[in-house]
Amino acid sequence: MALPKKSIVIILAFFAIYVIWGSTYLLNKIAVLELPPFKLAAVRFLTASIIIFILAKLLKIDVSITKQQLKNTTIAGFLFLTFGNGVVVWALKFVDSGFAALIISAQPLVVLILMRIFQGKRIATMSFLGVILGFVGIFLLISQKEIRSQENQIEGIIMIFVCMISWAYGSLFVGKANLPSNHFVNTGYQMLTGGIMLTVASLCFGESWTLPTTWSSAVQWSMILLIVLGSIVAFTAFNYLLKEVSPEKVASSTYVNPIIALFLGWLILKETITNQSIIAAIVLLTGVYFINTNRVIKPRGIGR
The ranges assigned to domains in the chain are 12-303
Pick from 263, 37, 86: which is nearest to 191 by CA? 86
DSSP 174: H
Which amino acid type is present at position 254?
A: T
The pLDDT assigned to 26 comes to 96
The pLDDT assigned to 214 comes to 95
Rounded distance between C-alpha atoms, residue 91 and residue 204, angstroms: 18
Q: Between vectors from CA 303 to CA 301 and to CA 8, what angle results, nearest 5°?
A: 20
The pLDDT assigned to 248 comes to 63
The pLDDT assigned to 296 comes to 47
All residue ranges of the chain with pLDDT < 50 are 296-297, 299, 301, 303
The pLDDT assigned to 304 comes to 64
Cα 121 from chain centre: 25
DSSP 29-80: HHHHTTS-HHHHHHHHHHHHHHHHHHHHHHTT------HHHHHHHHHHHIII
The pLDDT assigned to 1 comes to 56
State the greatest distance between any 2 C-alpha atoms of the chain, in Å, as a whole number: 59
The pLDDT assigned to 27 comes to 96
* Global pTM value: 0.89
Cα 74 from chain centre: 17
Phi-psi region of 60 (alpha: psi -120 to 50; beta: other; left: phi over 0): left
